[in-house]
Amino acid sequence: MSDQAAKLRTLLEERAEEDARERKIGELYFGMADTTRVIAITSGKGGVGKTNLAVNLSVALQMAGQRIMLVDADIGMANVNLLMGSVTNRSLIELLDDDVQLEDVVEYGVEGVKYISGVAAVEAALNLSRSEQRKLHKKLGRCSELADIVIIDTGAGLNRNVIEFVLAAEEVLLITTPEPTSLADAYAVIKAYSTYTARRNIKLVVNRIRDEEDSFDVAERINQTTKKFLNMSIETLGYIYEDKAVHDAVHAQEPFIIAEPDSPAARCVFEIANSLLSGEKMNSVSRGWRAFLDRLFGY
Ligand SMILES: Nc1ncnc2c1ncn2[C@@H]1O[C@H](COP(=O)(O)OP(=O)(O)O)[C@@H](O)[C@H]1O
Ligand SMILES: [Mg+2]
């Protein structure tokens, strides 16, 4: 392991210990166990659909009665607020100011999904002093009062802030398309991640598929490689069809699940949300008649 990786690991272990201590204190004194789920959405290659999944999944889960907090942590391409139809100038980093509380930096989007822009913060957080980190940690801890599920839209690839988020989250959704370059980059993430931690909590989401076969194919290709070289297999959480509704909704700056709830892509996201909540396999989603017509007429 490289020096940097070892250092990162120690840092994360220290943090995990501290978290566990604080949780214990919370449970002992206030009788409240922190049951908030944290799900990071990441990818190897950029532009494969992370933000769209993060936003639409958040909306679907909120519709299902969960309180969602969506954190935009993609430094390069922060655009959760674009899809939420609003602009925010606030960011996590303001929490370092004693007068600013979590509620002050939280915005409310579609269906009442709460979201926070972490953009400037993520980069800055890497250079914070220990006491500043503690302050941020403490204030952010209150996310668990405001949300049942925290969803983090991370950047793509293997830079340090992406890895930190991925490692810190309990569940990770790794999104890929069937494109060979996207697959290769997804594998690189799995590989890097497997050297950092023994926890195997990455699940695949295959985006922009033409038919279900595509999804099985991707899962098989990834698993052939991970089994051979890493001695591990990766579960598939679900898939999302290539769908004009996604493209149109992005242009309209709306989540597709709201703009076209009957579209194949939206029905897939509802099923993925359902699977996350029930723990059962994603139900098969058919493309439907409209999509058939779209294909027929070349959309
Ligand atoms: N299922 C899909 N069907 C059609 N187009 C899609 C789909 N998913 C993503 N796209 C297209 O890809 C673009 C990038 O998606 P985005 O969610 O911003 O990716 P990322 O956050 O990974 O960079 C979208 O603007 C959209 O045009
Ligand atoms: Mg994005």
CATH number reported for the structural domain that contains residue 135 in this entry: 3.40.50.300
Q: Is residue 170 part of a domain?
A: yes
- Domain hosting 219: range is 35-235
Handedness of CA 45, 78, 148, 207 (dihedral sign): negative
Ligand nearest to the CA of 268: 1
Q: Is residue 267 part of a domain?
A: no
Question: Looking at ligand 1, which residue's alpha carbon is closest to its atom 10?
Answer: 49
Q: Is 146 in the pocket of ligand 1 (CB under 6 A)?
A: no
Q: Is residue 64 part of a domain?
A: yes
pLDDT the model gives residue 282: 95
Task: Return the ∠ at Cα 152 (arms to 33 and 221), rounded to 5°.
Answer: 110
Q: Is residue 253 part of a domain?
A: no
Q: Is residue 13 part of a domain?
A: no
Q: Is residue 231 part of a domain?
A: yes
Which protein residues have a CB closer than 5 Å to ligand 2 (ion)?
50-51, 74, 77
pTM of the model: 0.85
Q: Is 207 in the pocket of ligand 1 (CB under 6 A)?
A: yes
Ligand nearest to the CA of 185: 1
pLDDT the model gives residue 256: 97
Q: Is residue 217 part of a domain?
A: yes
pLDDT the model gives residue 193: 85
Low-confidence stretches of the chain (pLDDT beneath 50)? 26, 28-32
The domain total for the chain is 1
Q: Is 243 in the pocket of ligand 1 (CB under 6 A)?
A: yes
Q: Is residue 133 part of a domain?
A: yes
Q: Is 42 in the pocket of ligand 1 (CB under 6 A)?
A: no
pLDDT the model gives residue 32: 47
